[in-house]
A and B are shown apart, each in its own frame.
Chain A
Amino acid sequence: MSSTASAIHVSNLRKTYRVPEREPGLKAALRSLLRRKHREIKAVDGISFDVQPGEVVGFLGPNGAGKTTTLKMLSGLLYPTDGEVRVLGHVPSRREKAFLRQITLVMGNRNQLVWDLPALDSFELNRAVYNIPHASFVRARDDFIDLLELKDLVRKPVRNLSLGERMKMEFAGALLHRPQVLFLDEPTIGLDVTMQRRLRNFVAEYNRRTGATVLLTSHYMADVEALCKRVLVIHHGQLLYDGALSGLVERFSAFKTIGVTLEDGSADLSAFGEVMQRDGGRVTLRVPKADTSRVTAQLLSRLPVDDLTVEDPPIEDVIERVFAQEKPQ
Chain B
Amino acid sequence: MRTLVDLYRGTMRIAVIEQFQYRVANYFYMIGMIAEPVIYLVVWSTVARAQGGSVGGYTPGAFAAYYIVWTLVRNMNIVLTPYAWERRIQRGQLSGELMRPVHPLHFDLAFFMGWKVVAIALWLPIAAILIAAFQPTFSTTPLGVAGFAVALWGGFLVRFFLMWALGMLTFWTTRVSAVFELYFTVELLFSGRLVPLSLMPEWAQQVAGVLPFKWAFGYPIETLIGQLTPEQILTGLAMQAFWILVGIVIVGGVWRAAVRRFSAVGN
- Measured CB to CB, the residues of A under 8 A from B are 17, 72, 75-79, 95, 97-98, 100-101, 103-105, 107, 110, 112, 114, 116-117, 121-122, 124-125, 127-131
Contacts and interface: CB of A to CB of B under 8 A. Distances in A.
B139 interface: no
A144 B98 CA distance: 24
B1 to A, nearest CB: 12
Interface string B4-37: 0011011101100110011000000000000000
Contact of B101 (A72, A114, A125, A129): A129
Interface in B96-153: 96, 98-102
A128 B264 contact: no
A135 B260 CA distance: 37
Contacts of A101: 101
B18 A131 contact: no
A269 to B, nearest CB: 48
A194 B262 CA distance: 37
25 contacts: A17-B265, A76-B98, A77-B98, A95-B98, A95-B259, A100-B99, A104-B99, A105-B96, A105-B99, A107-B92, A107-B95, A107-B96, A114-B14, A117-B14, A117-B17, A121-B17, A124-B10, A125-B11, A125-B14, A128-B11, A129-B7, A129-B10, A130-B100, A130-B101, A131-B6
Nearest to B19: A116
B260 A77 contact: no
A230 to B, nearest CB: 25
Contacts of A79: 260
A127 B14 CA distance: 13
- Residue from B11, B21, B102, B265 having most chain A Cβ neighbours under 10 A: B265
B263 interface: yes
A131 B3 contact: yes
Contacts of B263: 17, 78
A116 B3 contact: no
Contacts of A72: 95, 264
Interface of B: 3, 6-7, 9-11, 13-14, 17-18, 21-22, 92, 95-96, 98-102, 259-260, 262-265
B10 A128 contact: yes
Contacts of A116: 18, 21-22
B14 A97 contact: no
A125 B99 contact: no
A79 B264 CA distance: 10
Given A101-B101, A110-B95, A110-B96, A77 B6 contact: no
Contacts of A76: 98-99
Nearest to A183: B99
A114 B9 contact: no
A138 B73 CA distance: 41
Contacts of B13: 121
A77 B95 contact: yes
B177 to A, nearest CB: 19
Q: Which 8 residue pairs are nearest across A and B when measured between Cβ atoms?
A: A128-B10, A100-B101, A97-B101, A112-B96, A128-B7, A128-B6, A131-B3, A125-B10
Nearest to A128: B10
B3 A128 contact: yes
Nearest to A125: B10
Nearest to B259: A95
A117 B7 contact: no
A78 B264 contact: yes
Given A76-B98, A125-B14, A129-B102, 5 more contacts: A103-B99, A110-B95, A114-B18, A128-B3, A128-B7
Nearest to B256: A95
Contacts of B7: 128-129
Nearest to B17: A117
A129 B18 contact: no
B2 to A, nearest CB: 9
